[in-house]
Amino acid sequence: YTHEKASSTTPKEEEETLDTSATEATADPLDNLDLPAIGDLFVLCQKKIKYRQTYFERLNIPCPPPTFFFGNYRTLWTSGIAYSKQLQQWTREYGHICSMYEGTQAIYVVSDVELLQEIFIKQFSNFNTHHKTQLLIKTRKNQHDDLIASSGQQWKRQRTILNPVFSQAKLKQMAPLVDNCIAELMTKLSSSENNVFNIYPYYKRLATDVILKCAFDVTELNVQNIIDNKENIYLIKIQEFLSTDTATLLIYKIAHLTELAPVLGWTLRFVEFLASIVKSQVAVLPLDWFTDHIQEFITVNDQLNDVKKLTYDELLINTLLFLTAGYETTSASFAYATYILATHSDVQKKLQDEIDTDTHYIDLFWKEVSRMYPIATPFIKRHCVQNTQVLDYKIKKGIIYPTELVNKLYFI
C-alpha cells in the first residue's frame, strides 16, 4: 500500500516510459557521430600521408613510385628477394643517391662513400641515433632501453658507464680464456675423422662458451661438451629468444607503416609481454652470472651518482644484449668466413702462410667477409636528429639512412 501511494505514475505512463527507453537503447550509435567531422579527419590524414610521400620529389631526388600509405613496403614484402638486394636494384635504376619510403618514413638509399663518411664520421653528432618507430617510442615512453635502442643523453650515459668494461687491459685479460675455448673447439673438430659435418652448431657453442666465461665468469660448465642442445640450457634460452623473425610479424610491419597509426592498449600489453620474455631469459641463469667483468661493472655503477648510474632494468637489458648480440653475430661471421675459405682455396693458402708472420691479410680478409655478409645491419640505421647540410644535400630531422647497401655495392 505504501509503495502504491508513493508511486506518482500510472501503469500506462510507466509503459510509455519503458517504450521510450527501449527506443533510445536501440537507437543507432552512428546517429550520435559527427560524420562530416570524421570525413574531414580522413581527408586531412590522406593529405598528410600524400605530402610526406612527396618529400623526395620536392627535393628532386629519384625514388621508386610509392603506393599510398604503404610507400615502397609492398615491393619489399612481395618481391621475394632480400632487403639489401632490392636496394641494389633501385641503386642500379635510380643512381648512387636515391630514396624510398617505408610507409610514410622517408629514407635515403645511399651508396656514395663520401656522403656516408660525412654522416658516420664528420657529422656523427647529427646522426648518432638508431631508428625507432613511433609505435616503439610511444609504447616505451619513460622506460629503459639497452645501448643499441637508447639515444641522446641516455645513450651517452650508458656508453660512459660501459666503456671501462671493454678496455684494452680487460680484453687482454680475456685472451687466455678465449684461447682455451678455441682449443676445445679444435679438439671437437679433430674428432670428426674427415667426415662431412655442419660446423655452424660448433660455432654457436664456441660463441656461447666464450661469452659466458669472459663476460659472466661461468667457468664451471663447458658448454662445448654438451653436444645435445636439448640439455644445454644456455643455448636453449638464447635460441628461444632469437627464434622469431620480428621482421615478419604483423605488429612490426604496422609499426613501420605510418606515424598516424594509433597506439592502442593491446600494443602496450604486447610490449609488456616482450619485457617478460627478456626477464625470463636472465632469470634461468645462475647467480654467479653477474660476477667478474659484470660484477666490476656493477661495482663501478654503485659508485656513481644517480644521474650516471644504470637502473636495474638498464643493467638487465644490457646484460641480455651482451649475450644474444655476441652469440648471433660471432657465430654467423665465423660460418661465413669458413664458407669463403672452403670455396676459395687460394685465399685459404695465403691466409695460412701469412698468419705466422703478419696479420695484415687476415685483417683484410675479415673486413671483406663482413662486407660480403654484413651482420645485424638493421641495428646500424642512422636517424638524423636535427636539420643539417651534408655535402650538397639538405637533410631534414627524422630522415633515415640505411647502411647495408654500401657493404654490397656491385661496383666494388
Section 302-311 average pLDDT:
58
For residue 267, name the pLDDT band (cuts at 50, 70, 90).
very low
Reduced to 3 states, what is the DSSP secondary structure of residue 100? strand
pLDDT of residue 4: 44
62 is written with which cell numbers? 629519384
- How far from chain centre, in Å, is Cα 410? 26
> What is the distance between the alpha carbons of residues 71 and 50, in angstroms, rounded to a whole number?
10
Reduced to 3 states, what is the DSSP secondary structure of residue 390? strand
> What is the distance between the alpha carbons of residues 298 and 71, in angstroms, rounded to a whole number?
45
- Predicted confidence (pLDDT) at residue 402 exceeds the cutoff of 50: yes
Instruction: Residue 215: name the closest of 314, 158, 285, 302 by CA.
Output: 285
Higher-confidence position of 24 and 308 = 308
Domain ranges of the chain: 36-131+381-412, 138-343
- For 190-223, the pLDDT digits (tens) are 877 777 888 888 898 888 888 878 777 777 667 7
- For 132-179, the pLDDT digits (tens) are 655 455 445 555 566 666 666 777 777 777 777 777 787 788 888 888
pLDDT of residue 295: 53
Report the share of the chain in percent with pLDDT over 70.
58
Handedness of CA 145, 149, 151, 154 (dihedral sign): positive
Query: Please, is 10 exposed, middle or buried when counting C-beta atoms within 10 Å of its C-beta (0-12, 13-18, 19+)?
Result: exposed
Residue the block writes with cell 661438451: 225
Range 138-343: architecture per CATH: Orthogonal Bundle (1.10)
Instruction: Residue 206: name the closest of 332, 356, 317 by CA.
Output: 332
CA within 13 Å, CB half, 153? 3
Higher-confidence position of 10 and 373 = 373
pLDDT of residue 133: 54
Higher-confidence position of 131 and 272 = 131
Instruction: Residue 329: name the closest of 291, 367, 366, 376 by CA.
Output: 376
